[in-house]
Amino acid sequence: MGKYFGTDGYRGEANVDLTADTAFKVGKFLAYYFSNKGTKECRIVIGKDTRRSSYMFEYALSAGITAAGADAYLMHVTTTPSVSYIVRSEDFSCGVMISASHNPFYDNGLKVINENGEKVSDDFIAEIEAYLDGETEEVPLATGDKIGRTVDFAAGRNRYIGYLISLATRSFKGKKIALDCANGSASSCAKAVFDALGADTHVLSNDPNGYNINANCGSTHMEALQEYVKNGDCEIGFAYDGDADRCLCVDSDGELVDGDQILYLCGKNMRDKGQLKDNKIVTTIMSNFGLYKALDGAGLSYEKTKVGDRYVYENMAENGYSLGGEQSGHIIFMRHATTGDGILTSIKLMEVLLEEKKSLKEALAEYQRFPQVLKNVRVKDKLLVEQNETVQEAVKKVEESLGEDGRILLRASGTEPLIRVMVEASKEELCEKYVEEVIAVMKKEGLVLS
């Protein structure tokens, strides 16, 4: 993880941590780097979510790209996975998605995607950060007929929509499905996909205004979708995050179904069809105990990575695995995508249920989720918390108390000044107790922002 680029790109509060000047410099560097220092043609595609500041960053990036002699193709409001798809299928040099994912509207970010549709390497991050810090030579400005241009490329989003529709092998006709688009990127394409597949589509949080992205909606705030599905006789509901690379869902009773459960259902189905290499699923250390018990019961194996769909993807790519993801809803179907894709995940899960002729609740009847409590603590310095001996002693004490009947994880967010404290145990009250004990120690040590 770099100084500026975390597990999911350069992210921070717009015009505080991430400015238009920075975006301009990033654009210049991308044009110079991917054109091999101006020696070959460079085309860079840009997508954005619905935040007010995304316009500013779109123009600043474009200015930097064209000033350094490359062409910028603007997809406008679209999803992160659509940028990844277009980069690899349309022979672009790289792509940038302007988004802070599930963060509030006042944050924003730059996700750089390489020519293969993948998140960029640590080596690349080290180079671009050295440039941003003035440690390397300045990128020269193009002149004369070498100056780049911007191209309206909204057609790229339509091609992505067509791609998603082409992947479905079954009609959704007669299925009443609710979609929570988080007032974000999914608002540009999710309904079109489900309508084309024949669903009776009901859409929530599909009216972005620049400020309401993720606001009490989407995959981080499931309450509205749960209520709508439960009271609206929908068979299922899907919720996306701000840039639509995550998907969580809700069964007909309004019960939350997370990424772990989606992995379980899709993994079993892929195994039965001979599509799951080594009968193995790639997970992260944040996956619930319940997932591993369910996978053991189904005869499926698994690997665990650090938190972040980037690490899941790297493991999958290195070993040729077919399916992986996170509890938060980043699910990667390697045959079809190189990143988490919320709308693709919805399609795949719907196909599992249609093939097995089961409701979501019926399909998960044998799955038992362990009680889990996760709390985000805003701190002064993440590293100081991780190195604090008193905090580590408190964590060790909880580990000893839980034994083999649970676990505790203390980890820093890769994108925000947060420490996540998570406990799984046999009872929710135990989870709450142990989480609060550790947070109390962090406060006593003066590590928590008031």
Structure tokens given for 225:
């979708």
Opening angle at CA 279, ends 276 and 280, nearest 5? 95
* Cα 236 to chain centroid, rounded: 21
Closest CA relative to residue 2, chosen from 419, 416, 414, 311: 414
Catalytic, 413? Answer no
21, 25, 30, 33: CA torsion to nearest 10: 180
Whole-angstrom Cα distance, residue 52 to residue 300? 44
Does 245 appear as a known binding residue? yes
The set of residues, in sequence order, having a beta carbon less than 8 Å from that of 73 and lying 6+ positions away, is: 43, 44, 45, 46, 92, 150, 151, 153, 156
Q: Is 123 exposed, middle or buried (0-12, 13-18, 19+ CB in 10 A)?
A: exposed
Whole-angstrom Cα distance, residue 283 to residue 280? 10
Does 296 appear as a known binding residue? no
Does 71 appear as a known binding residue? no
Query: Do 202 and 177 touch, CB atoms closer than 8 A?
Result: yes
Identified catalytic residue from 101, 187, 188, 328: 101
Structure tokens given for 416:
């925000």
Query: Do 96 and 110 touch, CB atoms closer than 8 A?
Result: yes
Query: Do 82 and 156 touch, CB atoms closer than 8 A?
Result: yes
Question: At which residue do the structure tokens 């310095």 appear?
Answer: 381
Does 171 appear as a known binding residue? no
Query: Do 12 and 135 touch, CB atoms closer than 8 A?
Result: no
Residue 138 is which amino acid? Answer: E
The set of residues, in sequence order, having a beta carbon less than 8 Å from that of 14 and lying 6+ positions away, is: 51, 53, 56, 57, 106, 107, 108
* Cα 237 to chain centroid, rounded: 19
Whole-angstrom Cα distance, residue 370 to residue 290? 5
- Residue ranges of the annotated binding site for Mg(2+) are 101, 241, 243, 245
- Residue ranges of the annotated binding site are 101, 241, 243, 245
Query: Known catalytic residues?
Result: 101
